[in-house]
Amino acid sequence: MNKITAAITAVGAYVPDFVLSNKVLETMVDTNDEWITTRTGIKERRILKDADKGTSYLAIQAAQDLIAKANIDPLEIDMIIMATATPDMMVASTGVYVATEIGATNAFAYDLQAACSSFLYGMSTAAAYVQSGRYKKVLLIGADKMSSIVDYTDRATCIIFGDGAGAVLFEPNYEGLGLQDEYLRSDGVGRDFLKIPAGGSLIPPSEETVKNRQHNIMQDGKTVFKYAVTNMADASELILQRNNLTNQDVDWLVPHQANKRIIDATAGRLELDESKVLVNIERYGNTTSGTLPLVLADFENKLKKGDNVIFAAFGGGFTWGSIYLKWAYDKK
């Protein structure tokens, strides 16, 4: 019997209709389009304006898009991994609710939280379940409603983040396609540099924490940038070396969409031509767990069976890593 590998066999995505452009942000905080574009590469981001809809809504839309395009029965899905940094609520898993809402009532589900690396870590987890032979269809969703935790008076963070979701289906493959190798790392030194200070068990919610805006995301931009550039590039380079790949062997780099300068630095370290780097940050900003699957959805037409695809991400904590995957299908 051939060895089981875990391959992505379908992709889905969803972004809200409302567009928050740099021009609109100019009316909200002391910033301008040129400053934002030069430093981040972002032109606009999507925002889920409905106050009564959370991350689960984004995730459900992305999952249903995948299910419709792949023409699969939700009852065939064995498990769902919900990669997110903005769950609907504490304790009650967002993934569990999503599974029920999309009709995947035979699946078990849970949330996975590793900040902007959540989807990358989720790829590793989903692949491991498939490779075990116990599960045939694992749905991995990356979704975040970042607007729910952004302070729109803080120009350092409000220019970066947007809302969005993407989903991929992992299934067994017997042709050697799918996930080939991974290099995943974390370092608790990052705890103080990218966080939401209050709302957890350390600093429970109070009138004071709300007044002090401690429930919004805060980051030390320079420190995060430095660590991200170094670690995303190092991880990607190591994956190539470990698998005896040259820059000519790489068909596509799928980097986390946090900052165009970080993406360029990672591609530069690998000496990849710009045409091989998949980027959509200018339209969505940083959707955290949603960035990697949104890139796959946007560029699915370009991906061909057998293509060597390198994924790279960096997130709060700190968390980071790189995954080498062989693409498994041509889009029909």
Catalytic residue positions, numbered: 116, 256, 286
Tokens describing residue 274: 């710009």
The DSSP 8-state label assigned to residue 4 in this structure reads: P
Q: Convert 115-132 into a string of H (helix), E (strand) and C (coil).
A: CECHHHHHHHHHHHHHHC
What 3-state class would DSSP assign to 24? helix
Alpha carbon distance, N-terminus to C-terminus of the chain? 29
Residue with tokens 């992709």: 11
Per 3-state DSSP, what percentage of the chain is helix, strand, and coil (rounded to 5)?
Answer: 35, 25, 40
List b or e across 213-240, with b for residues whose CB sees 16 or more CB atoms inside 10 angstroms.
Answer: ebbbbbbeeeebbebbbbbbbbbbbebb
Is residue 110 within 8 A of residue 96, CB to CB? The reply is yes
